[in-house]
Amino acid sequence: MIVFDLECSQGHVFEGWFENLEAYEDQRARGLIICPFCEDAQVKRILSPVAVKKAVPARQDLPEGHIDYKRLAREVVEYVHHNFEDVGPQFTSEALKMHYGVVERRNIRGAATEKEEKLLKEEGVDFFKLPLPKGDPEKKN
């Protein structure tokens, strides 16, 4: 059973109990729902505040705070792939050259050994590491 708040055309408000929504629609269509105050059969359902709230379309977005990290990583890798010059194993020397103004600064990508990474950090060179997706033919260790 469900209960609806109903209102007649005269503005009388009353409760109606029904088997389900279909039963309500059916009885209303056949004029079987009558206002207990004035016997008016022109009855409509009043949306309760809860029902009004539910009527707002549900957001299709992902819940707040949920980030698809795998996708994000893929997009970052893709971006770097297209916008950064691949200098391969020359990464550290190129980065240092840029750092000291020997060559013009540009976006580069490449590979660095742990030792080279340490050197770059010591020199204060900004760089970041990306986990390359498995199966990337350019993967260098």
Residue 12 engages Zn ion in binding (rule: CB under 5 A) = yes
**Directed axis angle between helix 91-99 and helix 114-122, to 10°?**
10
Stretch that binds Zn ion, among 8-16, 19-27, 95-103, 112-120 (CB under 5 A): 8-16
Cα gap 94→100, rounded to integer Å: 10
SS3 content of the chain, % helix, strand, coil (to 5): 35, 15, 50
Q: State which amino acid sits at residue 52.
A: V
Question: Which residue's CB is nearer to Zn ion, number 31 or number 133?
Answer: 31
CA nearest neighbour of 5 among 50, 45, 55, 52 = 45
Site string for Zn ion, 40-79 (x = CB under 5 A): x---------------------------------------
**Phi then psi for 51, rounded to 5 degrees?**
-65, -35
Site string for Zn ion, 13-42 (x = CB under 5 A): ----------------------x-xx-x--
Question: Which residue's CB is nearer to Zn ion, number 11 or number 89?
Answer: 11
In the complex, least distance from residue 29 CB atom to Zn ion, rounded to whole angstroms: 18
Question: Which residue's CB is nearer to Zn ion, number 39 or number 61?
Answer: 39
Cα gap 71→121, rounded to integer Å: 28
Contact by Cβ (8 Å): 60, 67: no
In the complex, least distance from residue 64 CB atom to Zn ion, rounded to whole angstroms: 45
Give the residues lining the site for Zn ion (CB under 5 A): 8, 10, 12, 35, 37-38, 40
